[in-house]
Structure 1
Amino acid sequence: MDVYYELLKKPVFTLNDVNQFYQNMESACSAVRRLLNKGRIVRIKKNMYTCISGETDSPVANKYQIGCAITESSYISHHTAMEYYGMGDQVYYDIYVSSKTPFKEFEFDGYNYCYIASKCDIGIEEIMYSGGIRVTTKERTVVDSIKDMDKIAGIEEVIADIEAVTYLQEKRLLQYLQAYHNQFLYQKTGYLLLAYQNKLGLSDDFFEFCRGKIGKSKRYLTKEMTGGKYDNSWKLVVPNDIYGMKNGVLDDSI
């Protein structure tokens, strides 16, 4: 039996997976070393491997499969989830992986795998016949991107992601907003989605619900901005020309 062909069935595998064919850890380790030396498999990180395709001479596992195999609870989120859905406006080399279990960030095959602490258990879909890919729903992805705007994406990327979405399920949005239970998140989400209300299929009731949750606090939409204008409806200070921004500054080409 050539164990390589058995391992090809699993995009990402560990020593324990290899040991299923040997029932002896020493023999499994020897097999892994032998396959590594022959260039038939490659080490992603400690105790995490993938096969090298004989056809393309590239790793069999893609970046999404790798991200979802880092821990038992890991899943693709934020801008990487948008990219998975085909909505990214450019190529990013940071792969955002949410997980209940922390992991040390690492680089493999040109991509940086970045840890995000998972703070919500709902809105995660396991994609059938995908080799183990778990990804946040489009609605959860939008909410997460807005929530972590200052930590991860930046306002211009969040707006680009929202513009790429054609429809959102209102019930799901409310479910995720309620799960996070954060006044500022209601403010930001309501303000940013209002400009796309008709395209996204959101009702007036959705925005009234969000307004009812924001309290009396006045905040800046993003920490990156200076100056701006005050939106009394959402109690937010926002950039003067928020939809003409690119990379945090006004885009002169617009």
Structure 2
Amino acid sequence: MKYLDKLIELGCFSRQEVVDLIGTEKAAHSILNDYVKNGYIDRIRRDLYTAISLETKQPVANRFLIATHIAEDAYISHHSAFEYYGYANQVFHEVYVSTTSRFTDFSFDGITFTRVSPKIDSGVITTNTEIRVTDLERTVIDSIYSFQKIGGLEELLRCLLLVPALQADKLITYLDEYGQVNLYQKSGFLLKEFAEQLGLTKLFFDYCRSKISKSKSYLYSEKDALSKHFVLHKDWMIFAPENIKSILSKGVDLNV
């Protein structure tokens, strides 16, 4: 148990980190096998491990720390970032991990880790606990972009209800990085419903409108059976439910 305290301190660690700690590949292999056999550590996936608490017998690393260690550039994003900040309506048994490194989705300790291919690079912070996560504004823009695939429209709206404020300049930075007309439309349309709560002024929405063409678009797939009930919101040139907040009051997600 010579190295156990250090591994507990790391929480989550790769095979290479153990090699660096011990000094040789052979010794690291022996230590890992011995510690796994005795229940001091657990294998998360190939070459990735977590220490096990001697008191609780549970993994020391939480889902967010594990996600950060899946790849060198891995970070928590989308609905999982809302969960990290405490602004999620529901806690999923799935963690969304953005990384350019491909990995096969896997499960550990009842949680599924799902890869998302990042569309932009900026807006990732590292916390004092060494967890990498998108900042709040990047989380919002990513989630608006992908809400059909991650969580659904109702869950996104309920997350937005919990967000206390957003910085318009950061939102604009990420929107510009995406550079998609439809995303300016969706973001402006959805965030306008929460403008006062989020501290977003007319300047932000005017900027979004300045990026919109005369072409009409849909909040989500026009092939969706419920899209026939959409109305055109001319200020955003977008077809969407007439009253977005009615989705929350009815408890119905039109994105199913």
Greater shift after overlay, 55-64 or 16-25?
A: 16-25
Give the aligned partner of residue 203 of structure 1: 201
TM-superposed deviation, 1:247:
4.3
Cα distance in 1 for partners of 2:21, 2:217 equals 58
Would you say the 8 A contact 2:138–2:174 is kept in 1?
A: yes
Q: Which amino acid aligns with 1:119?
A: K
Give the aligned partner of residue 113 of structure 2: 113
Give the aligned partner of residue 234 of structure 1: 236
Cα distance in 2 for partners of 1:212, 1:149 equals 24
Pairing partner for 2:140 from 125, 139, 142: 142
User: What CA deviation, in whole Å up to 9, does each residue of 1:59-114 have, x standing for no partner?
Assistant: 00000000000000000010110011011112211101101212111100111101
User: What CA deviation, in whole Å up to 9, does each residue of 1:160-193 have, x standing for no partner?
Assistant: 1111111100111111111110100000000001
Superposition map of 1:66-77 within 5 A: 66-77=66-77
SS at match of 2:149: helix
Give the aligned partner of residue 189 of structure 2: 191
Greater shift after overlay, 17-26 or 95-104?
A: 17-26
Cα RMSD for the two superposed structures: 1.5
Q: Which amino acid aligns with 1:197?
A: A
SS at match of 1:226: helix
Cα distance in 2 for partners of 1:21, 1:203 equals 52
Aligned residues: 248
Cα distance in 2 for partners of 1:122, 1:247 equals 34
User: What CA deviation, in whole Å up to 9, does each residue of 1:119-163 have, x standing for no partner?
Assistant: 2121111101x1x20111111100000011222221111111111
Change (3 A) 1:38 1:192: same
Cα distance in 1 for partners of 2:204, 2:18 equals 51
Cα distance in 2 for partners of 1:14, 1:190 equals 42
Cα distance in 2 for partners of 1:15, 1:137 equals 29
Give the aligned partner of residue 218 of structure 1: 216
Unaligned runs of 5+ in 1: none
TM-superposed deviation, 1:22:
3.1
Cα distance in 1 for partners of 2:22, 2:197 equals 56
Would you say the 8 A contact 1:155–1:222 is kept in 2?
A: no
Cα distance in 2 for partners of 1:193, 1:21 equals 48
Give the aligned partner of residue 39 of structure 1: 39
Q: What percent identity do the matched residue pairs reach? A: 38
TM-superposed deviation, 1:249:
4.3
Would you say the 8 A contact 1:142–1:161 is kept in 2?
A: no
Give the aligned partner of residue 248 of structure 1: 253
Change (3 A) 1:221 1:20: same
TM-score (norm 2): 0.93
TM-score (norm 1): 0.94
TM-superposed deviation, 1:240:
3.3
